[in-house]
Amino acid sequence: TSSYLNPTKPQRNYLKNSRDDTLQIRSGNELEPPSAWQTVNHGSASSLQNAIENTYIKCSRYLFVSREQWGAKSPKDEDYFNTLDGVSYVFYHHTDGEECNSTTSCAEIIRMWQMCHQDTRGWDDIAYNFLIGGDGSVYEGRGWKRVGAHTLGYNDVSLSLGFIGTYSNKVPNPEMLTAAEMLIECGIEMIQYSVTSKVYERPCL
């Protein structure tokens, strides 16, 4: 697995919330798939970010690029989480490939990945719930409510954050890590993660 989330370096401490609960980081090698959870569809895939930012303080701290802003195609289908107390897991991935450092270049790469995931792999949409660009922006993938296609056996009970680029042998830049921290804090405030959520690093798809 990638080494950019290292639990042996507590000084980074970027997964700690205001209630002093710490999301644990574990190696993906320890995972055993949970029993499958049934999911149901509710509503549409339109962005909720404006309403979220007006309600939750921590969710307004990062730069957000909606699906509409990066030019997403419509999903083929929509599968929604069926849980009221937040998902149990959060997975960090890297997309594997080119990096980006501007909204224009990041949007171009994300459109390429969406095309790959939908047309080549036959998935409903881009795999990730959110992507993080080298410009420090958070890009909306499937968002907070929709089940992703990123970690076999865990898609129904987890959210995924994809760092745009290849980070097998290096760490994402500070802006990317800060954006990931803020997104985690936003999810905690929104109760999109359960208090006992665990955060895992995973290899790219």
Domain ranges of the chain: 1-6+22-28+85-205
The answer, yes or no, to whether residue 53 has pLDDT greater than 60, is no
Q: Edge to edge, what strands does the sheet with 24-27 contain?
A: 24-27, 193-201, 87-94, 158-163, 130-132, 137-140, 63-65
Residue 20's SS3 state is coil
Q: Which residues are paired to 139 by β-bridges?
A: 65, 131
Q: How far apart are CA 80 and CA 82, in angstroms?
A: 6
8 A C-beta contact, residue 201 and residue 1: yes
Of all residues in the chain, what percent carry a pLDDT higher than 90? Answer: 36
The answer, yes or no, to whether residue 55 has pLDDT greater than 90, is no
What is the secondary structure of 39-55 as a DSSP string? -B--S-----HHHHHHH
Average pLDDT value for residue range 104-120? 95
Q: What is the largest distance, in Å, between two alpha-carbon atoms of the chain?
A: 43
Higher-confidence residue: 48 or 148?
Answer: 148
State the architecture of 1-6+22-28+85-205 in CATH terms: 3-Layer(aba) Sandwich (3.40)
Tokens 């009221």 locate to 84
Average pLDDT value for residue range 164-189? 90
Can you read off the two tokens belonging to residue 122? 């036959």
Average pLDDT value for residue range 21-31? 39
Total Cβ atoms within 10 A of residue 84: 6
Name the pTM for this structure.
0.71
